[in-house]
A and B are shown apart, each in its own frame.
Chain A
């Protein structure tokens, strides 16, 4: 572990500043996500949010999850989102006008209520001095608040990745195997859902009999008195012109 990160995970002032800056980035990008009109901008805000959360994981002594967050979320999932956005057309701007009158006001009020209740329910007992992970009060059990034990001892014993792997393949091996099945099912489901179901009569394959028939009629109409070599050249140019137009028809 680098000295900066070590300092940050031991409850020093570095953790406070990391939390303030990265937390502000996370909150700002989350607001940007729900307020950006353009869906691509929203996706970029989502990347920023994922990066901020990855930094928070590293501070919270979950180094493996920080890397996984970068690879899976910021790498794979957001790229998938951007793929679909590009596929479906990015030019359309999402109108933020609500169809239900007062929808945004009601949603904001509900969101504030949700935040207050969630924060009170989860964070309430963990705001005292003893809840500072790795501090004197937490280790001795003095001070108010539920003590935060910290993962420093667990991670120092066998390492974060080794400990996680040990848990995954002993206590949680059943869930791990079920997850493998779930991933296979999801992949198959995505393939089945993404398959384009076309009318078989509209399918034009490049080597099928449709192209030579068109080529013969076109060359006969445009060049009636030409020799066989000229007709072949015209046919060649016509097929090269006909292919993109057919592509347009198919799309």
Chain B
């Protein structure tokens, strides 16, 4: 009655797939961004699980860097979304067909 490490990896794979499906089916840019965060978290879960499997803290250090980079990414991404909303008055991804302003 215990948990093999693979169960955590299966859970992380499921969360990653759900996040990917969310990016594909949602139309609001903000919710798509949230789904990207979900995918980053699932990858972090995989890293931490492998760190436990290998009895080494390197995976946790890498997960730490992923968290830092995700924080920076959220800052810039949300600023871009706010700018996009000012330009188009909408956060619908379908409204942004072209990159021209």
Binding site for B on A (CB under 8 A): 11-13, 15-16, 19, 23, 26-27, 30-31, 33-34, 39, 42-43, 46, 49-50, 53, 56-57, 60-62, 64-65, 68-69, 72-73, 76-77, 80-81, 83-85, 87-88, 94-96, 98-99, 103-104, 106-108, 110-112, 114-115, 118-119, 122-129, 131-133, 135, 145-146, 148-151, 153-154, 160, 163-164, 167-168, 171-172, 175, 179, 182-183, 185-187, 189-190, 193-194, 196
Contact = CB atoms under 8 A, between A and B. Distances in A.
Contact of A99 (B12, B16, B67, B94): B94
A37 B70 CA distance: 25
Contact of B4 (A27, A69, A99, A129): A129
Contacts of A115: 13-14, 16-17
Interface of B: 1-22, 24-28, 30-31, 33-35, 37-38, 41, 44-46, 48-49, 51-58, 60-61, 63-65, 67-76, 78-83, 85-86, 91, 94
A122 B9 contact: yes
B8, B20, B46, B60: which has the most chain A beta carbons within 10 Å? Answer: B60
Given A167-B58, A189-B79, A131 B4 contact: yes
Given A30-B15, A57-B48, A187-B75, A108 B53 contact: no
